[in-house]
Amino acid sequence: MKRILLLSWNLLWTTTSFGSALTPEEVAAHIESKGTQATREKYFSCGEKDNALGYARVEAGSEVWLKIATRLLNDSDACYTEGLQDSIARALMNKPENVLPLVDSGRNLEAVYICIPFMTDTVEPTALRNQLAALNKLESSLKSVKNKKLQTQKNKCLARVQPLQSEIREALTLHSRGTR
């Protein structure tokens, strides 16, 4: 009985500590001790974004997590770069004031890469509606930014979001008419 209780406690502790306690301090220390590639491999899975806690933390949009993401982007390969850029773009929906200063601030941080989250090419109406909902949320988030110092970056992002919204609306209209 003690063994089962101990095993249950260890599993609970391990799951809890791995599942929710990832801190920016832990990741920053890992960067310093093991380097950026080892850190990406440990916390930012390549190709399995849903199973990597680091991406979710970046998407929340805190300044410290965005700083970690930009540091990891500096020397990342294409697979990690796409995931990190997508997470930064998703952070725009949560904390646009923290993300907008990053727009066009460096390599891999150009508006084309971080203003819109990754979206698949699809003609399936449900997927298109989900993409449009995400873009509408993003547009609303961007429009809520009033800081004059961020207007250039805000406008660059809106210039990417709005045409894509129109494209998706048009595709949905064509699909509902049966012309697609």
pLDDT per residue over 35-61, tens digit each?
Answer: 999 999 999 988 776 668 899 999 999
Q: What is the C-alpha separation between 18 and 31, in angstroms, rounded?
A: 18
Residue 27 has a pLDDT of 96
pLDDT band at 179 (very low <50, low <70, confident <90, very high): low
What is the residue extent of each domain of the chain? 19-177
The model's pTM? 0.84
Residue 50 has a pLDDT of 67
Furthest-apart CA atoms within the chain: distance in Å: 67
pLDDT band at 85 (very low <50, low <70, confident <90, very high): very high
Q: Which two tokens stand for residue 5?
A: 């209780």
Amino acid letter, residue 87: S
Q: What DSSP line would sit under 76-93, residue for residue? A: --HHHHHHHHHHHHHHHH
| Rounded to 5°, angle at Cα 32 from 31 and 37 | 35
